[in-house]
Amino acid sequence: MNHKLGISNGARIIVVDDDPMIGKLLTTFLGEREYEVNYFTSPQKALTCLRLLGNTPNPVRSEHNQRNNLSSKSDCSLSDASNGVNLLLTDLQMPEMSGIELVRAAKILCPALPVIVMSGSADGAARDEIFSLGADFIPKPFELADLLKRIDLQVTLGIRGMNPAPRGRVNGSHR
């Protein structure tokens, strides 16, 4: 798979992490692979964006976004609505709201939305809850190439309308 272009085709990812350095890294990395990224340090603002944009199974880059190079934004507007959201990538531990609470709220808004939760300190109970919500989990630290594979898989399965959260082993641990 050519990850310079990736499978993104303008697919939109909402990234939520209270650490701005992680957010900037992920926004840049995914933007270079032609994903459209909306980054938030606030889970509440991310939910507002998700309410506005909704979930779409077919990522198509709009002419407006191509002209204005909106691959990395920290807000949402109606001009973004042609693309919808194809994936939520969130940290687990944040001061305003936990990643699990964010996943619950996002799944109420968009039940089929693929979600990946990142954490450097999730215990077995937290991972079990993440999986029970239909989300995937990746432990921090991770290799960006590993994250990209998971994102590509989740977006592809979401587009096909399949259950986006893979089941089985994650870094040697059984779900």
- What is the DSSP code string of 16-29? E-S-HHHHHHHHHH
Q: Which fold has domain 12-163?
A: Rossmann fold (3.40.50)
| Amino acid, res. 16 | V
Q: Across residues 106-134, what is the average pLDDT?
A: 94
What confidence category does residue 6 fall into, taking pLDDT thresholds of 50, 70 and 90? low
Give the Cα separation of 46 and 26 in Å (integer).
15
Secondary structure of residue 98 in the 3-state scheme: coil
pLDDT of residue 39: 97
| pLDDT tens per residue, range 21-80 | 999 999 999 999 999 999 999 999 999 999 998 875 544 443 333 333 333 455 564 444
